[in-house]
Amino acid sequence: MPFDLPFLAESFAALLRGIPLTLQLAALSVIAGGFLAFALAFMRISGKWWLDAPAQFYIFVFRGTPLLVQIYIIYYGLSQFPMLRHSLLWPFLREAYWCAVLALAFNTAAYSAEIIRGGLLSVPAGQIEAARACGMSGHLLFRRIVMPLALRQMLPGYSNEIILMVKSTALASTITLLEITGIAAKLISVSYRTVEVFVCAGAIYLAINFLVARLFAWLEYTVSPETRRPEEHHA
Amino acid sequence: MDYVRLMGFWPGGWGYSLLTATAMTVAVALCGFLVGVVLGCLGAAASFSRLRAFRWAADVYTTLLRGIPDLLVIYLFYFGSSSLLTTVGALFGAEGFVGAPAFLTGALAIGVVSGAYQMQVFRGAVLALPKGEIEAGRAYGMKSLLLFRRIVLPQAARFAIPGVGNVWQLVLKESALISVIGLVELMRQAQIGAGSTRQPFSFYLTAGALYLLISFISGRGFRLAEQRAMRGIRRVA
């Protein structure tokens, strides 16, 4: 099978138009899911069972079921309730776009909560004791000592989660959204040239994920100066 | 209760079809998982190879398939093999589109994806072996294959269990994506039920609960296996 360059270029151009939607879905859900994840992580480490148990249950449910089920429950399932259909939320829940964002956010929150919890728990007790000895407490302690240290710990895990999220946005194509995979499926079903379309779409995803990975590697480098080798000559 | 009537095991209830579909989900996930184990082993072996071409190929495999959405890979396998079959079919006089078998292509697709993750698990498990063990084996005059069978495999298998369990959970959840190419597994059956009764919430919720049940039970199984494999290992802390 000869590789048809004009077709390849055409498909690539068509797929490129899906990038903004893919990035939007990923960004919105990561941001919204991030807030929820923080709330869940704090519930987990609160030490109060009535906060811990619901958070654990949430995480168990959302990590134990396929994302596709979650998307379908929100997009198709909620329409089963007439009450919801007549509520103020319906203009949002009717839209595939907001349903996808909601499902992705709920999903990533469950995974990120555990990453954040791991980061918070990894802060050495001595650091906190030292801060208390210096007279810090509450917010100041959290802002100056706990958060910076925890953030650094959770960066590698969180970058994996964001890459997974970028890949998960592909499922939005199952509820009619034309992001990269949606466009790819459409192109394939029209042209039957699976391999060419797949190569183009795959390359775009790989490029996005490569950039995300580099960005986080850079972030990690900037926030952990003390783990670098000391520079040879100081001015 | 409407819900109970809908999901029951009597005429008009969807209980049996959902249970059969659950069995199909487990079957396709298991097949995909096994394909992944084989590919993961091959990939890990290639990544430790002395030949640079092998190491490179393994690296490309795991990087590519971990960076591309699984749904796209499933489309590639399904439509790719279908168009191949259609071409071959046309040679033998068949007319029109020949669809590839959904079970086979689906299991292969999630197998190839999970192999990329499995490979990392196996690599990690082999790297976790103390170097001295391998040197000691060599000192006794063991050749590669014997060394692998007697020293590396039994210990690496032990370290790999938690990671393998994670990959299994991943495969189980990914298997829901095979519904898009028409295999009647749990997700597809729920779609069918939702479509014909106009009760999507009840059906997707039930499907979700069944997935949760499978992952809960298999999670327990893996934890037991880990405990068993780790007996006799001294652990700090």
Q: Enumerate residues 6+ apart whose C-beta is below 8 A from B106.
A: B28, B32, B74, B77, B78, B175, B178, B181, B183
Interatomic CA distance for residues A141 and A144, integer angstroms: 5
What is the average pLDDT value for chain A, to the nearest integer? 91
Closest CB to B212: pick one of A61, A185, A198.
A61
Looking at residue B203, its pLDDT comes to 93
Predicted confidence pLDDT, tens digits, chain B (237 residues): 678 888 888 777 888 899 999 999 999 999 999 999 999 999 999 999 999 999 999 999 999 999 999 999 999 999 888 888 888 888 887 777 777 889 999 999 999 999 999 999 999 999 988 889 889 999 999 998 899 899 888 888 888 999 999 999 999 999 999 999 989 999 999 999 999 988 999 999 999 999 999 999 999 999 999 888 888 777 655
Average pLDDT over residues A103-122: 95
Gap between the Cα atoms of B162 and B6, Å rounded: 38
Region A68-82: mean pLDDT is 92
A161-203 tens-digit pLDDT: 999 999 999 999 999 999 999 999 999 888 888 888 998 999 9
Topology classification of domain B17-229: MetI-like fold (1.10.3720)
Q: How far apart, in whole angstroms, are the C-alpha atoms of residue A73 and residue A77?
A: 4
CB A100 within 8 A of CB A26: no
Give chain A's domains with CATH numbers.
5-223 (1.10.3720.10)
CB nearest to B194's CB, from A67, A76, A206 = A76
pLDDT at position A234 is 56
Which amino acid type is present at position A198? F
Q: How far is A133 from chain B (nearest CA, A)?
A: 28
For tokens 């996930």, the residue is: B29
User: Hey, what amino acid is at B229?
Assistant: A
A24-41: per-residue pLDDT in tens?
Answer: 999 999 999 999 999 999
- Under 8 Å between Cβ of A153 and A162: no
Cβ atoms of A15 and A183 within 8 Å: the answer is: yes
Pick from A1, A68, A173 the residue to mutate for testing the B interface (most B CBs within 10 Å): A68
- In a 13 Å sphere around the CA of A39, the CA atoms on its Cβ side amount to 12
d(CA B14, CA B106): 25
Residue A56 CB coordination number (10 Å): 15
Q: Which residue has the higher pLDDT, A206 or A230?
A: A206
What's the confidence (pLDDT) of residue B41? 93
pLDDT at residue number B236: 58
How confident is the model at residue A2, as a pLDDT?
54
- Phi, psi at residue B211, to the nearest 5°? -60, -45
Fill in the DSSP letter of residue B148. Answer: I
- Best residue of B26, B60, B76 to probe chain A, by most A CBs closer than 10 Å: B76
Distance CA B105, CA B78 (A): 6
Q: Show residues of chain A in contact with B173, CB under 8 Å.
A: 65-67
Closest residue on chain A to B79 (Cα): A194
pLDDT at residue number B92 = 84
Query: Helices in chain A by DSSP H: which ranges?
Result: 5-16, 19-45, 49-64, 67-75, 82-85, 90-93, 96-121, 125-133, 138-141, 147-168, 180-191, 194-223
**Cβ atoms of residues B60 and B141 within 8 Å:** no
Closest C-alpha to B168, from B21, B65, B40, B22:
B40
Q: What tokens does A132 get? A: 């208390």
Q: What is the DSSP letter of A196?
A: H
- Nearest residue on chain A to B87, judged by CA atoms? A192
**CA-based nearest residue to A103, from A114, A92, A91:** A92
The number of C-beta contacts closer than 8 angstroms across A and B is 123
